[in-house]
Structure 1
Amino acid sequence: MQQVQSYQEVIAHNIAQLKLPATPENLYAPLRYFLSLGGKRTRPALTLLGCSLFGTPGIKAINAAIAVELFHNFTLIHDDIMDDAPLRRGKQTVHEKWNRDIAILSGDVLFVEAYSYLSKNEGDVLPKLMTVFNTTAKEVCEGQQMDMDFESSDVITISDYIEMIRLKTSVLLGAALKMGAIVAQEDNENNIQNIYDFGVNIGLAFQLHDDILDVYADPSKFGKQVGGDILSNKKTFLLLKAFELADTATANQLSNLLKNGSGKQKVENVTAIYNQIGVKEAAEQQKQTFYRKALANMAAIDISDEHKKPLLSLAEYLMSRDH
């Protein structure tokens, strides 16, 4: 993990050095605040790792990596608005600290800033980077729309959910790695496809792990409201699996809790049903399925195993993190 941590520090330093205008204060102060909250900087680190995997110093992909990180933070600001989330990384969300209109506009500026950094890449790789970035940005929006559509639908399947998280979460991890490979000018299409698929499958496993943490994490470490998905009746893998596994009486009990339950008691009662029918174990099993697929993608890349170690170490960490 040493190389990963080194790259994360480089990203954090570059983010801290971003020169944002002083005025209008209500436009830029929220961005300085939000970016100062930190975060794991995992996605931009993937861009640097994707570059170094193919024999080019990762730092060459720094502008693409910053673009990825700024885009990711833009999506977080807007997601928090749509989810009406009170906390992000243990601190007030932008729309809570300021207001919704300011949060929307500040997020928009961050999206533009991401393009500004992307445009700093060399002309021979820029068109490919733009194609990947634009496709991914659109897919992330599609995934978010699906997520919102799910709120008012009673016919969501687990395969629907997997497709939604692939778009909303996973494609950005795949794109981050692919953009690093493009900066490195990797020309083996099989390698490029497998590094992208590695990221997507890790992303799917990552989101399922996040679903599990939302219910089962230590509140002092999680940085978000534990049980938030339950309180908002969010159709996560765990909830959909619960309805799939439950008998009629338990399914009716769960439906009643979703409609009429509230607060801490609702979280405890729904979690008790999850524990009763083995939902956590089913989620862990599905997570491991995607993780194994990711490892198969990495094995198929025609690069020495030594060069793969940093990415494999990061993947292992993402599967076992507690926050």
Structure 2
Amino acid sequence: MTTPEQLLQALQQEIEKNTYGAHPVELYEPIRYIMSLSGKRLRPLMTLMAAALYTDDWRKALKPAQAVEVFHNFTLMHDDIMDCAPLRRGQPTVHEKWNANIAILSGDVMLVRAYDLLLDVESDRIKRVIKRFNDTAAEVCEGQQLDMNFETRWDVTEAEYLNMIRLKTSVLLGFALEMGGIIAGANQQATSLLYEAGVNMGIGFQLKDDLLDVYGDPAKFGKQVGGDIIANKKTFLLIEALERAEGTTKTELNRWLIAEEFDKEEKVQAVTQIYNTLEIRSLTQAKISEYFDKGFDCLERVEADPARKVPLLGFVHQLVEREY
């Protein structure tokens, strides 16, 4: 039985071999740079694990799996420009290290290279994969636009937020699992369940990120706890707090939200206390569990050899329990 560690090692070796292009160096070096800032490789690993549910020849999914990772990093490169983000995974973002024009153009090439990698899908399945990839890519852009729209709104509802994170972050995880099943020859019911599992898990992961930003251990979380509070980011926690706060609690929350000058640590402590008063932490944990349970239910219903499902289920359980 192939382990997640073996799949990840094979994937990393393939990613390191990919040069994307040579000249002009200013165009291709930023691509190699962002791809070297090794993230979790969660999405392409999911593609390989889904393929391994149905075939021992999971290597035929290696290049398509890379396509998912290249596309994901393309969106990060462009998102960083829009967000004026100085750092990505603890290192300077591409537009900071080079400039915005180079980041835009290099990102464009990454999208093209993603299609190149998808060409490795077998001919009888490639049309379906490309169509699903195109639908997913458009949805990711829709989610990013909604996220930007929310920056100037204070009436964002829970349903709107959940739909935004579904589009911006979750559908790509769903596609990654679905594509692995398609490449390995799984039937329509199985690939649909894999997709739904990925989408629900993706929403759960994003909600957990929202929660960890407030309540995470800084030593494990890897970035400043309370960053979302400082930036007035419309997270699930803030949206719920705005809806539930009343009287002096509401007045206090609004005071911190409109304050232009403040001590960051004091704001984080004050808003966190408001969340505690409103029991936002337990509410968010319940919502996280709801989506993870939906995801596991879909994975359990996927028709595959139970022994082959053990590595995937074990890996996802580890991700669910993470504290970073």
Write out per-residue CA displacement over residues 110-166 of structure 1, whole angstroms, 9 at most, x where no aligned residue: 111111111122211110110111010001001111111111122210011011111
Q: Relative to 1, partners in 2 of residues 1:101 and 1:15: Cα closer, same or farther, differing over 3 Å?
A: same
- 1:87 Cα deviation from its structure 2 partner: 2.1
User: Counterparts of 1:228 and 1:107 in 2: how far apart (Å)?
Assistant: 27
User: Counterparts of 2:239 and 2:133 in 1: how far apart (Å)?
Assistant: 31
User: Counterparts of 1:99 and 1:231 in 2: how far apart (Å)?
Assistant: 27
Q: Relative to 1, partners in 2 of residues 1:230 and 1:192: Cα closer, same or farther, differing over 3 Å?
A: same
User: Counterparts of 1:30 and 1:50 in 2: how far apart (Å)?
Assistant: 30
Q: Relative to 1, partners in 2 of residues 1:172 and 1:227: Cα closer, same or farther, differing over 3 Å?
A: same
Hey, what does 2:32 align to over in structure 1?
32
Hey, what does 1:109 align to over in structure 2?
109
User: Counterparts of 1:112 and 1:258 in 2: how far apart (Å)?
Assistant: 41
User: Counterparts of 1:4 and 1:117 in 2: how far apart (Å)?
Assistant: 22
How do residues 158-197 of structure 1 correspond to structure 2 at under 5 angstroms? 158-187=158-187, 189-197=188-196
Deviates more, 1:263-272 or 1:290-299: 263-272
User: Counterparts of 1:249 and 1:56 in 2: how far apart (Å)?
Assistant: 61
Write out per-residue CA displacement over residues 61-80 of structure 1, whole angstroms, 9 at most, x where no aligned residue: 11110000100111111122
RMSD, aligned α-carbons: 1.8
Per the normalisation by structure 1, the TM-score is: 0.94
Q: Give the AA of the match of 1:255.
A: N
Identity of aligned residues (%): 47
User: Counterparts of 2:12 and 2:253 in 1: how far apart (Å)?
Assistant: 43
Q: How many equivalent residue pairs? A: 322
Hey, what does 1:210 align to over in structure 2?
209
- 1:109 Cα deviation from its structure 2 partner: 1.4
Q: Give the AA of the match of 1:232.
A: A
Q: Relative to 1, partners in 2 of residues 1:168 and 1:25: Cα closer, same or farther, differing over 3 Å?
A: same
Hey, what does 2:254 align to over in structure 1?
255
Hey, what does 1:230 align to over in structure 2?
229
Hey, what does 2:199 align to over in structure 1?
200
Any stretches of 5+ residues in structure 1 without a counterpart? Answer: none
Q: Give the AA of the match of 1:235.
A: K
Does structure 1 conserve the Cα–Cα contact (< 8 Å) formed by 2:213 and 2:226? yes
How do residues 233-312 of structure 1 correspond to structure 2 at under 5 angstroms? 233-260=232-259, 262=262, 263-312=264-313
- 1:56 Cα deviation from its structure 2 partner: 4.4
Q: Relative to 1, partners in 2 of residues 1:34 and 1:221: Cα closer, same or farther, differing over 3 Å?
A: farther
Q: Relative to 1, partners in 2 of residues 1:84 and 1:18: Cα closer, same or farther, differing over 3 Å?
A: same
Q: Give the AA of the match of 1:213.
A: L
User: Counterparts of 1:89 and 1:140 in 2: how far apart (Å)?
Assistant: 21
User: Counterparts of 1:108 and 1:222 in 2: how far apart (Å)?
Assistant: 31
How do residues 80-91 of structure 1 correspond to structure 2 at under 5 angstroms? 80-91=80-91
- 1:173 Cα deviation from its structure 2 partner: 0.8
Q: Give the AA of the match of 2:301.
A: A
Q: Relative to 1, partners in 2 of residues 1:60 and 1:120: Cα closer, same or farther, differing over 3 Å?
A: closer
Q: Give the AA of the match of 2:265.
A: K
User: Counterparts of 1:93 and 1:182 in 2: how far apart (Å)?
Assistant: 34
Does structure 2 conserve the Cα–Cα contact (< 8 Å) formed by 1:241 and 1:279? yes
Q: Relative to 1, partners in 2 of residues 1:219 and 1:87: Cα closer, same or farther, differing over 3 Å?
A: farther
User: Counterparts of 1:113 and 1:267 in 2: how far apart (Å)?
Assistant: 42
Does structure 2 conserve the Cα–Cα contact (< 8 Å) formed by 1:89 and 1:223? no
Hey, what does 2:46 align to over in structure 1?
46
Hey, what does 2:148 align to over in structure 1?
148
Q: Give the AA of the match of 1:290.
A: Y
Q: Relative to 1, partners in 2 of residues 1:82 and 1:221: Cα closer, same or farther, differing over 3 Å?
A: farther
User: Counterparts of 1:141 and 1:245 in 2: how far apart (Å)?
Assistant: 31
Deviates more, 1:255-264 or 1:112-121: 255-264
Does structure 1 conserve the Cα–Cα contact (< 8 Å) formed by 2:142 and 2:167? yes
- 1:96 Cα deviation from its structure 2 partner: 2.3
Q: Which runs of 4+ in 1 moved over 6 A?
A: none
- 1:295 Cα deviation from its structure 2 partner: 1.4
Q: Relative to 1, partners in 2 of residues 1:129 and 1:56: Cα closer, same or farther, differing over 3 Å?
A: farther
Hey, what does 2:92 align to over in structure 1?
92
Q: Relative to 1, partners in 2 of residues 1:94 and 1:224: Cα closer, same or farther, differing over 3 Å?
A: farther
Deviates more, 1:268-277 or 1:190-199: 268-277
Deviates more, 1:312-321 or 1:44-53: 312-321
